[in-house]
Amino acid sequence: MNSRSKSNIFKKLKKRDINRFSIFMAIAFVFLLISKLSNDYKQRIKLQINLANLEEEIIVKQDSSNVIDILVEAKGFALVPYIFSDYKDIDIDSKEDIINRETYFIFDVRKHRYLIEEQLGSSYKLLTISPDTLFLPYSKRASKYIPVVLNSDIEYATGFDIKGNFTFDVDSVKIVGAEDKIQGIKSIQTQPLKLNKVSNLIDEEIDLIELEDIEIFPKEVRVKAEVQRFTEGTIEVPITITGKPEDLNLNYFPKTVTISYYVDLESYSSISVNDFEVQCHYDKDNEGQTYFEPKITKSPNFIKRLSIKQKRVDFIKL
């Protein structure tokens, strides 16, 4: 037998020894673990109280007031679930096990120790429990309807804009929660609607923002808007003087002003001077007044970006 064959046989035997050793170590570890888990240990656990059979309008505040601290003794196997979390839920019947007051429930922990022991199970021995009594604050659920406000960041394509206003598929949404929390809420915003280079109809379903401890129905809305090509236009509109005494004669210049506006192409040809009104108000209490500031008091509601070219109208008393 050559030296190379001897070397291969030695390697195989060595590998088998390592594998056997690993198996024996694993078996020894398992037996050690079982031995350890078979021993009794003490463990602190926090019991989170869940109230069953609550009336629909009751909301129990979820905080440290509904937690019971206990010390239990059990086998290691039974305590494995509490290695990563020391919390356990306990169900209490709000009709039978709780005393109801106007703004809080009272749970006599000592008196209902047996309920806790039943839900823990026979694997656990309850050693200590605190506090003796829990006071669980609650509030009554209320509801109301509030309008939706669009949170938008929209960039339109060159020469395009929205015609009219955004519309929702619902006029308002219903919010449900503790009365003291919802009474100050007047509206609710959507999640941001971000669109770029828009040139067509906007039709998007968008979620509403979440409100802490408050339910919203529905949780999303559909928003629509008509988008069309727009153009700029100008028109000469005569000035109307208001507030002038009948016995006062005035001469003012100019007699008309130029209004520029931004409008969709479809409506452009239908616009006329009768759609606008520009007024200048005479203040009889201001003797030193020598000019007016013209203001647009009437215009079509579908027009955007109105402006008057002439910012001042001079006048003299005759």
CA-CA-CA-CA torsion sign (213, 216, 219, 221): negative
- Give the three-state DSSP class for 187: coil
CA distances, 167 to each of 89, 125, 146, 202 (Å):
46, 63, 15, 10
What mean pLDDT is predicted for residues 278-291?
A: 86
27-36, 110-119, 161-170, 251-260: which range is least confident on average? 27-36
Q: In this structure, how many other beta carbons lie within 10 angstroms of the beta carbon of residue 146?
A: 15
Record the pTM: 0.55
What mean pLDDT is predicted for residues 156-164?
A: 93
CATH architecture of 40-140: Beta Complex (2.170)
| Mean pLDDT score of the chain | 85
- Is residue 193 within 8 Å of residue 150, measured between CB atoms? yes
At 209-257, the pLDDT tens digits run 999 889 899 999 999 999 999 999 999 999 999 988 888 888 999 999 9
What's the CA gap between 218 and 207, in Å, rounded?
9
**Whether CATH 2.40.110.10 fits 141-229:** no
Q: Which residue has the higher pLDDT, 227 or 5?
A: 227
What's the CA gap between 118 and 94, in Å, rounded?
17
pLDDT at position 286 is 76
Instruction: Establish whether domains 40-140 and 231-317 are of one fold.
Output: yes
At 71-109, the pLDDT tens digits run 888 877 777 777 777 778 888 888 888 888 888 888 898
**Whether CATH 3.40.50.2000 fits 231-317:** no
And the tokens for 281? Answer: 């108000």
Residue 17 banded pLDDT, cuts 50, 70, 90: low
pLDDT at position 8 is 54
Domain boundaries, the chain: 1-37, 40-140, 141-229, 231-317
Residues across the chain: 318
Q: Which residue has the higher pLDDT, 285 or 260?
A: 260
pLDDT at position 64 is 66
And the tokens for 286? Answer: 């201001």
